[in-house]
Structure 1
Amino acid sequence: MGRLTMNKTANLAVALSVVAVLGGIATVGTQSAVKRSVLQQADIVSPGREAIMTRTEVSMGGTSGRHTHPGEEVSYMLEGTLVLEVQGKPPVTLKAGDSFMIPAKAIHNATNKGNTPAIIVSTYIVEKGQPLATPAQ
């Protein structure tokens, strides 16, 4: 293998590793329906835990899919409308300006029933090293 080929292979391996790591954070729903970007990630005072702040966009008609987080989620709706379903609770319609909290490990799903993308800013307080979101069974 030539040096150029090895460099391309190494670059591809690094790129795929980054995609794999971010893929666990990016979304539980379909790639086209939900786009999650990490805005900030920092250690907090509680040992073994961290805060992760994200901006999530759910396209019109998009859904997050049923999933859980390893810690609490505190969120604020910037734009749009979502129907939030948390297992064991009635569905709630959220609109721009609303805030909500989802307990750790609660199975939930968000669906955009509006006619514009929904944009949410969320902060998660989670165990370090755990995937931000895990599909629910």
Structure 2
Amino acid sequence: MTQAIDTVIYTGRTRTTGGRNGHSRDAALARALAARAHLICPYSKALRGNLNVDIHVVWRAVPHRISHPLEITMNKIISIATLALTGAMALSTAQAQVPGIHRTDLVKHELSTPHLEGVQVRVDFEPGAFAPKHVHPGEEIAYVLEGTLEYQLGDSPPVTLKAGQALFIPAGVAHSARNVGSGKSSELATYVVKKGVPLATPSR
């Protein structure tokens, strides 16, 4: 069944289907909320003076016509926005966290080559910590600062590096890293990657 929504803003105090007076609304607030919701406000004169308005949404359906009052409050809008932002932040944080691994962003800067940027990150591994396979949208140079780290690139045999050693990781090659030492291990990861693209993407 095809349904259309007609939104009408009436000036003054109106009467609903049940015969009861509608609730007073501040004209300016109603107009602003309606504009945010992309509603049609044919009676722009409602904004002139200190007028009260009611907002009604009429659902047209064949063969029936059903009317529902639409109630929009600033508190509801703020609550919804807060929940959405909190959920997005929680999801982003959960995706970035790996048990036993701490990342510290050091440098992020555009390069002279168009659409590329340089990124440098310090990564600290607790004993036994493992970074599962992932890929980067560019090259990485991993330099071991302390401890012992084992890297595996694609299907190649694992490579073990100690402090002072480095490894080049090509763009798009799935790789993992594990702290195989008895204490904490750390690396300095330098990336040359595409600007505006996630630095790391999980891989199988």
- Structure with the greater relative contact order (CA < 8 A, sep ≥ 6): 1 or 2? 1
1:105 counterpart SS class: coil
What pairs up with 1:1-137 in 2 under 5 angstroms? 13=85, 17=89, 20=92, 26=96, 30=98, 32-137=99-204
1:122, distance to aligned residue in structure 2 (A): 1.2
RMSD: 2.7
Question: Could you report, residue by residue, the CA deviation over 1:99-120 in whole angstroms, capped at 9, with x for unpaired residues?
Answer: 1110001111111111111111
Q: May I ask how many residue pairs the two structures share in their alignment?
A: 131
- For 1:13, the aligned partner's letter is L
- Asked if 2 retains the 8 angstrom alpha-carbon contact of 1:56 and 1:119, the reply is yes
- For 1:89, the aligned partner's letter is S
- Distance in 2 between residues matched to 1:68 and 1:40, nearest whole Å: 20
2:32 maps to which residue?
none
Listed as ranges, the gaps of 5+ residues in structure 1 are none
Question: Could you report, residue by residue, the CA deviation over 1:6-34 in whole angstroms, capped at 9, with x for unpaired residues?
Answer: 5xx76x938954983x766x45xx2x222
- Distance in 1 between residues matched to 2:106 and 2:74, nearest whole Å: 39
Per the normalisation by structure 1, the TM-score is: 0.80
**Distance of aligned partners of 1:44 and 1:19 in 2 relative to their CA distance in 1, 3 Å threshold:** farther
- Distance in 2 between residues matched to 1:23 and 1:127, nearest whole Å: 24
- Asked if 2 retains the 8 angstrom alpha-carbon contact of 1:78 and 1:119, the reply is yes
Listed as ranges, the gaps of 5+ residues in structure 2 are 1-72
